Amino acid sequence: MPMMGGGGLVFGLIGIMLLCFLAFMVIRFVAWGSMGHRRIYRSGMDAEEILRQRYAKGEITKEQFDQMLRDLRESSN
């Protein structure tokens, strides 16, 4: 019966790590696809509504909100 050398152990560990990485990426892709920014744009919200939500959450200041709103309205004209 042939004995497995140190190389077989190394390649076995690399294979297990690659399999774990692949599983992690699949789970991450599925989870990220069902939430996050994609959900906002699929729901049909316009840019002003998204801006209002960001202001309501405290992500941007009043000054930033006002400037971004002006920019949006100028770009739509």
Q: What is the pLDDT of residues 1-53, one digit of tens each?
A: 455 555 677 778 888 999 999 999 888 888 776 555 555 555 556 888 999 99
| Angle subtended at Cα 58 by Cα 53 and Cα 62, rounded to the nearest 5 degrees | 90
Provide the whole-model pTM: 0.43
**The pLDDT value given to residue 54:** 93
d(CA 35, CA 22): 20
- What is d(CA 63, CA 71) in angstroms, rounded to the nearest whole number? 12
Residue type, 39: R
- Residue 64 or 30, more confident: 64
